Structure 1
Amino acid sequence: MNTVTDTPAVLHPRCPAPGSAELRALIDEIAAGSEARDRGEADTRDVIERIRAARLGLFRLPASQGGAGATLPQLYELVLDLAAADSNIPHILRNHFAFVEKALRASHLPQYARWLDRIRNGELFGLGASEIGTQNVGDGDGDGNTLLVPRGDAFSLTGVKYYSTGNLYFDHIMVNAKTPEGHFVAARVGVHAPGVDVRDDWDGIGQRLTASGTTVYTDVAVQPHDVLPLEEDVKIPHQATFAQLWLTTIIAGIVRRIADDATQQLGARVRNYYHASAARPADDPLLQEIIGELHSAAYVAESAVLRAGTTLGAAFESSHAGQPDEALYVEAALQAAKSKVAVDGIALKAATRLFDAGGASAARQSARLDRHWRNIRTIASHNPGAYKARAIGEHAVNGTALPRAAFF
C-alpha cells in the first residue's frame, strides 16, 4: 500500500532503499558531523553533495527510474532518522520532496514531465513562495510583488522571496509569480542563472544551517516551457498537509536525539550530589526516571507523526489512482494538526529535561545541547500552535471545516 506507481523510464543507479545498510550508513555519516557543522567547523554543502551523490532525492520515485520506490510512510521515517541525525538536513530537503510529490501527481503535464527528468538526473528543487508585507500570511496572495513579464520569445522574472529554505544548496527554484494580467504562475529558474541572488542571511536562533534567507530575482530569463499557469496545476485537498507534517516529524526526530543524548550524558556522569539517591548517577532512580520520560516522549511523538503519515499516504494513493478521497485528506490534515499541537509541547519540555539528566556540565557550550531547544522552538514557530489548536477545537465542537490554504 502507498507505493508510487511504477512507469517505464531510463534506468539509473538506484538511491538507497528504505531500511538498507547503505541508507543507515549515510544517516550515521550525517549524524557524526552534526555538532561540527553547528559549531561552524564543517560545511553543510558537503552533506547535501553527499545526499546528491547518493541520489536520495529520488527516494519516492519508482525503482525503474532510479528511485527507491519508497512509500509515503517510509519517507516520513526517513525524515525522523535524518532529523535525529541533524535537524537542518531534512528541513533543507523539505521543499524538494514536496515538489517531487507534486511532480508525481502531475507527470502527465509536459512541464512536470521535463522537471521529473531533472529529478531523475539527481537534481534538487527549491521553492520561492513567501513574501514579506503580506497582511494575511498563507492565504495565497503573497505572490503579488513578484512579476513574470513577456520579454521577446521568453519571459523575465523580477521579485524578492523570503524564507528560501535550502535554495542555497539546490539546482532549481520553483518561483510563484504573477503576470501583468494578474494570472498566477510557477516558473522554474536555475539557482546559478544570471539575476538569481540566493543570500545566506537567515538569522534565526535555530535551524541555522538551512539557508532560510532571502532570494532576489532581477530580470531572470525564463523559457516558456518552464512556466506553468497555476490554474492548470494539479490540486489536491489540503495541499499544505505534507509540508506541515514534515516539520512536526523533524521535531519528533529531535526528541529522539534528545533521548539518546540524555542517555549518553547520564551514562558518562561520574560525580553526583552528596544528598542524591545513589552515588553513581547512572544508578540514581530519579535520573533514570528522567531518561524513561524522554524515551517515552520520543515514542509518543514518533507514533503520532507516523500515524498521520500513513493516513496521508493513503490519501495520496487515492490521487495517484485518479480519485482523490476528500475524507482521507481531511483526516490526514486533522491528524497532522493534532500531532503538531501535542508534539511541540512534548518536545520543548524534553529539550529542558535533558539538562536535568546531564547535570551542570550539560550546559557547556561545547556540548551544543542547547541547539535542540533552539531548533524545536524555531520550527514550531513556523505555524503557531494556538491557532491550530483553536481550529481543531472548533472542528470538534461545531463541525467547522479546517482551513484549506497554507498551514493545514
Structure 2
Amino acid sequence: MKNFSTKFHPDSHHHAKESHNQETRRQIKETIEEEEKARCEWDFSLSTIVSSRNNSTASISDALGVIEFDQTNSIVATGGIARKIRIYNLESLLPHESTSQDVHHTVCLDHARAGDYYICTPAKLSSLRWKPGSDGRVLGSGDYDGVVMEYDLERRVPIFERDEHGGRRVWSVDYSHCDPAMGASGSDDGTMQMWDTRSESGECVATVQPSVRRSAVCCVEFNPFGGPIVAIGCADRKVYGYDLRMMADPLFVLDGHRKTVTYIKFLDNVTLVSASIDGCLKLWNSDSSNVTRTYHGHVNSRSFVGLSVWRDGGLFGCGSENNKVFVYDKRWSEPVWVHESSSTGRDGFVSSVCWRQAGEDQCTLVAGGSDGILQVFQGRRKSQTG
C-alpha cells in the first residue's frame, strides 16, 4: 500500500477553509461598521484643547476624574486628583462661538486663562454633582477620604460636610430631583447612603447594602425625570434599582456585565445605560431587566473612563484606556465616531466625559484626560440633502 502521508495532510483543507471563513467574517464586519458609521447623523470636530503651560511634565497628579455641566448648560465644573474644583464658562471654552473663526480650527488654551476660578479641596475628588434648584450656586462632591461636601460657589466656601462612610472612598454622589435636599453617596464600604442636607449633621435617611458580600458601590443616579427610582452600580457586576418609597429590596436587578459596573445613566424613565471594566456598555430595559443592546469598541479593563448620555440626541460618550474618545449612537453597537486624544503621556487615557444637555442640530461633548488635558468637541447634524 502506498504511503500518501507526505503528499496529503487531512487538516490542510480544513485550515484553508477556516482561514477563508475568518477573512469573510472580517470583511462582513468591516462592511457593517462602515455602513453604521455612514448612517451617523453627526459631524464631530475638536474645537478646544485646554492644558497647563507645563503640560510636558503632566503626570497622574493632574488626572481629571469628573466633568459636570450645570442645569443651564453654560457652566462646566471639573475635579480630580489635583484637589481642585475648576469652574469654566462654556463661552470661554468655545471662542469660536463669538468669533468668525473657522469652527474646524482647534483653539489651544491654558487652564489658568480659560477657567473662571478654582476652589481647593481637602482631598482628591471622585465625583461632582450640581444641586438641582440651586441656580448653579451649589455643587456637591465626593472624595477619596469618604467625605461628601457641598460648596457655595458664589462665596466659594464649603457649606455642608458629611463623613459617614468610615473613611472609605466615595465613588459617586447625586441628588434627588423630587427633593433636591436629599442626596445619596456610594462608597467602597459597600453601601449607598441617602442623607438630608437640611440637617446640619446630614442625617442619614436610608442605607442600602446591595451586595451580600459588601461589594463597593461605584455609581449612583436618581431618575432625572422625577420618578422615585435610584439606580446603583456595584463591583459585584450588577445594577440595582430601588424605589425610594420602599427600599428594603431592589425593584430590579440588571445582571449581564462580567466585571465591575463603573457608571449607570438614565436615558428615559425605563431605559438605562451602564459601563463596566469588562470593556462594554449595555442598554437596559428596567421593566424587563433585559439587555437591549451591547456596545463594543473602546478599551476599558481597569480604570474609570467616564460615561455620559445626550438624551435628546440618543448619543453616548465614553473614554478609553487607549487614549481615545468614543461616541456611540444608541441604535448601533459599534462606535459612530472615535477621536484619539492629544495626551503627551505614554500611559495616558481619557478618564471623564460629559455631554451638554442642550441643542437639536448641534451638540457639545467635553472630555478630560489622565494628563489633566480638557478637550471640547462639537457635533453638527449633517445636512439632510448633503
TM-score interval (norm. to shorter):
under 0.3
TM-score by length of 1: 0.23
TM-score by length of 2: 0.24
Q: Which structure would you say has the larger Rg?
A: 2
Give the structure with the higher percent strand. Answer: 2
Give the structure with the higher percent helix. Answer: 1
